[in-house]
């Protein structure tokens, strides 16, 4: 028999860098140069930028889905609420990894349809203010502002107030009395 047939596989002990935080007994996480690095044993397995929530949510959900971590491990390691962890695990299961990077779907205002929309568009085009349009159309000003920001309504053209002419002050060149010695 050869040496390779008798040798047993060696278990790699997890040796985490100083300052890292354990997620499980085998997986840790640490911050390096504005990146979050996930470590398995002593090897980095994934990284993302500190503020990249989509990648964080995706990777932690994948850890749970693959059985490498439990939901409670993610909750304890990162302080994320359990319902949030469950929500993103469901997102991974239902929509796959690409679901984390899709733009959020927005609903359009259901009250801003038909006659109310046409009236609002025409009044805004005339240069009326949002409160005036809201009062005339019966649509809340907040709804109109949202529609303007989303580009569903034209932006408000601010009225320019006529400038008042100011008279320049007349200078009085009155002679000063001479100082007496």
Radius of gyration over alpha carbons of the chain, in Å?
A: 33
Domain boundaries, the chain: 13-101, 114-150
Q: Which of 40, 90, 29, 46 lies closest to 64 in space, CA to CA?
A: 90
pLDDT at residue number 180: 56
pLDDT band at 39, cuts 50/70/90? very high
- Percent of the chain past pLDDT 70, that is, above it, reads 78
pLDDT, tens digit (0-9, with 9 covering 90-100), for 45-77: 999 999 999 999 999 999 999 999 999 999 999
Which contacts of 152-158 are long-range, i.e. CB under 8 A and separated by 24 or more positions? 152/108, 152/109, 152/112, 153/112, 153/117, 153/120, 153/121, 153/124, 154/121, 154/124, 154/125, 155/124, 156/124, 156/127, 156/129, 156/130, 157/124, 157/127
Is the pTM here over 0.75, yes or no?
Answer: no
Task: Answer whether residue 1 shows pLDDT above 60.
Answer: no
Task: Answer whether residue 161 shows pLDDT above 70.
Answer: no
Task: Answer whether residue 152 shows pLDDT above 90.
Answer: no
């Amino acid at each position: 028999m050869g040496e390779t047939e008798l040798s047993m596989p060696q278990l790699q002990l997890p040796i985490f860098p100083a300052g890292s935080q354990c997620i499980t007994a085998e997986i840790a996480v640490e911050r390096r140069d504005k990146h979050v690095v996930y470590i398995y044993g002593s090897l980095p397995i994934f990284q993302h930028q500190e503020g990249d929530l989509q990648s964080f949510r995706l990777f932690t959900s994948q850890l749970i889905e693959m059985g490498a971590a439990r939901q409670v491990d993610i909750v304890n390691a990162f302080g994320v609420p359990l319902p949030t962890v469950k929500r993103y695990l469901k997102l991974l299961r239902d929509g796959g990894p690409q679901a984390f990077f899709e733009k959020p779907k927005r609903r359009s205002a259901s009250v801003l349809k038909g006659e109310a929309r046409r009236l609002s568009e025409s009044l805004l085009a005339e240069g009326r203010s949002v409160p005036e349009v809201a009062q005339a159309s019966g649509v809340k000003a907040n709804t109109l502002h949202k529609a303007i920001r989303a580009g569903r309504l034209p932006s408000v053209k601010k009225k320019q107030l006529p400038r008042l002419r100011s008279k320049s002050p007349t200078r009085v060149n009155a002679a000063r009395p001479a100082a007496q010695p």
